[in-house]
Structure 1
Amino acid sequence: MFTNIALRAVLKSSVDVLRESVAVSVKPWTCSSTFLTGPKGGCAAGGFAVPPPVRHYARVAKKTKKGPVSQLSDLTPTMLKMDYAAVPLAQTTDDIVKRLLSLELANHSEKLKLKKEQLVAKVQRNENDRSSVEVRVAILTARIRNFQEHLHKHHKDKANKRRMLMAIDRRKKLLKNLRLVNYDAFEKVCEQLGITYTFPPDYYRRATRRWVAKKALCIKVFKAVQKQKEEQRLLKQSRALSYIEAAKAQAAESQ
């Protein structure tokens, strides 16, 4: 019994000594002003300072690329559609109906038709001209610019890119022919539509040994054929002369 009492006293004294040593060595945690700087920042004595969640507010925003100015930007929304521009009743109708007939609620294709008519009016020869080279160049120019604006936004659209290149080639051929036939009309078209005509590059082909040999063979064959044709021509002439001489001889004998 006495031994149990002595053991309890020794354990109690050792526990008290440990508590005092821990109280002296370990200091309570305090809140750090570097972590909690907001108006609600604060913690109890002896607690840990928990930093706020980090948000990536310093991330650089992506800059939106500005596309080229659209060719339809000069069309005011109050303009009437192409089908109703020549109707006199559309000018004096109600405001609501006039708004429905205007470009404000029109789709892209209707605006493009009106732009084609504006470009055609600049270069056509007369009011009824719809099939001249100048008119076709104006229509192709409107289509090409429309394709360019579309491909600037959707650069992976291969089908429309092919159509644009075909239209450019067709317009280049028309301008080339117009330049040879009527140079004044060619200059007027380029000035009115804002087209810069560039000459095609000179033809260049790398001279390989196979190409040189083939060219020499073609030249040799061409010379041989020309020589043969010349011999046939001389033979025909000699035969014709012989026939003439024979006819003259017969005429002299008959006299």
Structure 2
Amino acid sequence: MFPARALGTLLTSSSAVLRESGLLSRVSGACSAPCPGIWTRSPAAAASSAASCSRSGPSLIMQPGVRHYARAVRKKPAPESQLSDLPPTMLKMEYAAVPLAQTTDDIVKRLISLELASHSEKLQLKKEQLIAKVQRDEHDRSSVEVKVAILTARIRNYQEHLQKHHKDKANKRRMLMAIDRRKKLLKNLRVVHYEAFEKVCNLLGIAYTFPPEYYRRTTRRWLAKKALCIKVFKEVQKRNAENRLKSKKTQNDPKSGETRTSVQ
């Protein structure tokens, strides 16, 4: 290791040599003056400052990367609600048949219209509209078509809710149960009355898909159980056939009939 004096003399001598050669003055002149715009984000200002520094001397400053502190948030488009086609000036269900409601004040009309109605009241009105499309007559409230219409309005309401609150597991389960119930009703309606099935699907906008075929992964346990069930079934069929044959023989044998009468 060098002592402190020897190190100081070495540094002073090296600086003197650099001054004589003129290299230190160039580097200090290049880096002492701050280059304007070198830390800005615009590429044009950075290019101009880099050019000015290159004229004065060797460029020793590197441009930092651009940092995106505030990125634009991409908002998903809001889902179209099934209640969007209900006009706000439409009266509620309980006031639609009242003749005085058409001639009241504007403030009262706003109170009894859908403008200030709750979501449940609007949903009930949508259910009534769907029921009116598919019901068989004016007093029909219990047919398969009416049940399908009610379930359709309920399912679409659940779908709109889950698009906003996708972690709501309870309502997701209710929606899946309603879908299964509607599938079962549509399947029975398709078998019993195909024309009514097509009419309901067209009026309510339901895309009916056929249920998948039953599929079960084959395992050794399942194969052994199936073979045992088939074997038991065949044995039972064989015993039943033997019993039927014995009963026929006893009915055709006259001696057996005499013995029965004598015993009686």
Asked if residue 183 in structure 1 is aligned to residue 186 in structure 2, the reply is: no
Question: 2:210 corresponds to which residue?
Answer: 199
Among candidates 200, 211, 226, match of residue 237 of structure 2:
226
- State how 1:59-138 maps to structure 2 within 5 Å: 59-138=70-149
Distance 1:33 1:219, change over 3 A: closer
Q: CA deviation digits over 1:61-92, x for unaligned, max 9?
A: 10111132100000000001111112222122
Q: CA deviation digits over 1:188-246, x for unaligned, max 9?
A: 00000000010111112222222111111110100000111111222222223336984
Question: 2:3 corresponds to which residue?
Answer: none
Distance 1:92 1:212, change over 3 A: same
Asked if residue 173 in structure 1 is aligned to residue 184 in structure 2, the reply is: yes
Percent of paired sites with the same residue = 71
Unaligned runs of 5+ in 1: 1-24, 38-55, 251-255
Among candidates 141, 145, 154, match of residue 143 of structure 1:
154
Cα distance in 2, alignment partners of residues 244 and 100 from structure 1: 95
Give the residue type in structure 2 aligned to 1:80.
L
Cα RMSD (Å) of the superposition?
A: 2.6
Question: 2:165 corresponds to which residue?
Answer: 154
Question: 1:238 corresponds to which residue?
Answer: 249
Cα distance in 2, alignment partners of residues 196 and 172 from structure 1: 11
Cα distance in 2, alignment partners of residues 127 and 243 from structure 1: 70
TM-score of the superposition, structure 2-length normalised?
0.71
Give the residue type in structure 2 aligned to 1:151.
L
Structure index of larger Rg: 1
Give the residue type in structure 2 aligned to 1:78.
T
Distance 1:179 1:243, change over 3 A: farther
Q: Secondary structure at the match of 1:61?
A: coil
Distance 1:98 1:238, change over 3 A: same
- State how 1:204-223 maps to structure 2 within 5 Å: 204-223=215-234
Give the residue type in structure 1 aligned to 2:187.
K
Cα distance in 2, alignment partners of residues 208 and 224 from structure 1: 25
Greater percentage in helix:
2
Contact 2:79 2:160 in 1 (8 A): yes
Cα distance in 1, alignment partners of residues 197 and 119 from structure 2: 30
Q: CA deviation digits over 1:171-190, x for unaligned, max 9?
A: 00000000000000000000
Cα distance in 2, alignment partners of residues 101 and 80 from structure 1: 6
- The worse-fitting range, judged by mean Cα deviation, of 192-201 and 208-217 is 208-217
- Give the number of equivalent residue pairs: 205
Cα distance in 2, alignment partners of residues 98 and 243 from structure 1: 95
Distance 1:245 1:225, change over 3 A: closer
Distance 1:243 1:99, change over 3 A: farther
Q: CA deviation at 1:33?
A: 5.2
Give the residue type in structure 1 aligned to 2:245.
L
Superposed structure 1 runs of 4+ greater than 6 Å apart: 29-32
Distance 1:230 1:30, change over 3 A: closer
Unaligned runs of 5+ in 2: 1-24, 41-66
Give the residue type in structure 1 aligned to 2:195.
D
